[in-house]
Structure 1
């Protein structure tokens, strides 16, 4: 009898919140275009970085300088070739990953392994073509997103954090730490804050530093180099910003999986999002 009651309890469907139309077609389309763009920008960017796998602060650079804050190289040792990565003067053996990778019979003496570059072989010219093409697609998509989000209110409603959002950040951090996710009509405080940083800090920064490394842009707008303290500083900031965007993507992907991948993916494909029980229904909800 007890087992039968348990089965009946298990069969009871949990209450569901209303299905709301959360993501506009503009948000969804630009989101997936950015996914493609950032994929090619990242791996073609690593191809470009491998042409000189070091980062500097200031105007000067070169293999003869010792002012690098990051350097990936291969060195001859009594045991054979080894890959080394130096970060702020601290050296680490990164053989097989950075500086030296690939099979022993055909080692790759480059910063990042060929599995992480587009193309997978050394081809700086093709890497630059791919990188610049998707960079302009990325910028155009960002412009479309800003315009559409301003018109439909997505920017004000879901991206720009308000006072109550900032005050709610500590509580939201605590809820995430306890794996308690609230599915609302709009983004939670942490989402708003993180998306605001991405759209208003990281995206503009990676675009401007990319422009600062372009000789054509330098000739027309030399002040871009000056605001970053030199071309090499701009290159370093560009690299660090890219790393922060990769970190954001990894955390974003983890949050999607933990918060419910089906619901989150449905939202970014169809626009419809299942909210938490207790969310007030409105006209147009399902």
Structure 2
């Protein structure tokens, strides 16, 4: 099969940049991650505290609590308490860590939330493994995502950070490729955050503990696994927010066309 990019006339600023497997995985992954995050928040509402160690509420003190006290919501991290009334801890007349607006289901239902969570987990894990296999076999990972030695130099990374802070996005030929911040964030999510979330999720399962007890040792106990799971989910939310901001700032029409059709219009170099 010929490369679609070759069908574009020489000198054109419209290129075929994103192949179909990447686009399909992107949208399927977006759906499954959003459902898992929202159902996970409902599961968290059942016990809105996090611990380090094995035993949780029986023997350990929580390092994070989201709750309410006399009608006032609060977030407590270690010894620091932050008022959160109207955001966290209070949902209408109900004392819930996260409000109905961001949970699946919207009304308190732990059993339903678990069903949503586990069902969407299959949509995350199976396509994710297939994407890994395809990405390595097609050299998409090695060619498009793996940073080069030049890109990993601190000076290069810092320059890219400054360019993004000034909203100076790549143009012309430079826009054909991912920049170093994109590469680091995508590799971190695909090969770091998502696998860690899956492994910590499995570690919280008593059935998996019986089959693979080494996972409890790996994460330092079931409660530690729950804490790591929550932290990874929070980092994933931060990634999604920044990702959506960059899409809007870089040009939503062009970015959406890229992830729907694969075609991308290179931003023209500014005239000097």
Q: TM-score, normalised by structure 1?
A: 0.85
**Larger Cα-atom Rg:** 1
Shift of the 148–66 alpha-carbon distance from structure 1 to 2, 3 Å rule, reads closer
Which residue pairs with 1:23 in the alignment?
Answer: 18
Which residue pairs with 1:191 in the alignment?
Answer: 182
Shift of the 97–25 alpha-carbon distance from structure 1 to 2, 3 Å rule, reads same
1:112 and 2:98 are equivalent in the alignment: yes
1:259 and 2:250 are equivalent in the alignment: yes
1:238 and 2:229 are equivalent in the alignment: yes
Q: What's the secondary structure of 2:264's corresponding residue?
A: strand
Q: Distance in 2 between matches of 1:37 and 1:246?
A: 13
Q: Distance in 2 between matches of 1:264 and 1:83?
A: 39
Contact 2:51 2:60 in 1 (8 A): no
Which residue pairs with 2:66 in the alignment?
Answer: 72
Q: Distance in 2 between matches of 1:66 and 1:220?
A: 26
Q: Which moved more, 1:169-178 or 1:235-244?
A: 169-178
Shift of the 35–216 alpha-carbon distance from structure 1 to 2, 3 Å rule, reads same
Contact 2:53 2:60 in 1 (8 A): no
1:66 deviation in Å? 6.2
Q: Deviations along 1:151-178, whole A, 9 cap, x unmatched?
A: 2221111211111221231221122122
RMSD: 1.6
Shift of the 97–65 alpha-carbon distance from structure 1 to 2, 3 Å rule, reads farther
Q: Distance in 1 between matches of 2:67 and 2:244?
A: 32
Q: Distance in 2 between matches of 1:19 and 1:82?
A: 54
Give the number of equivalent residue pairs: 254
Q: TM-score, normalised by structure 2?
A: 0.89
Q: 1:54 aligns with which of 30, 41, 49?
A: 49
Q: Which moved more, 1:193-202 or 1:175-184?
A: 175-184
The runs of 5 or more residues in structure 2 that have no matched partner are 1-10
The runs of 5 or more residues in structure 1 that have no matched partner are 1-15, 279-286
1:1-286 correspondence to structure 2 within 5 Å: 18-62=13-57, 67-76=61-70, 81-102=71-92, 107-167=93-153, 168-183=156-171, 184-277=175-268
Contact 1:157 1:186 in 2 (8 A): no
Moved over 3 A (4+): none
1:100 deviation in Å? 1.8
Contact 1:108 1:114 in 2 (8 A): no
1:197 deviation in Å? 1.0
Q: What's the secondary structure of 2:167's corresponding residue?
A: coil
Q: Distance in 1 between matches of 2:135 and 2:266?
A: 22
1:111 deviation in Å? 1.1
Which residue pairs with 1:284 in the alignment?
Answer: none
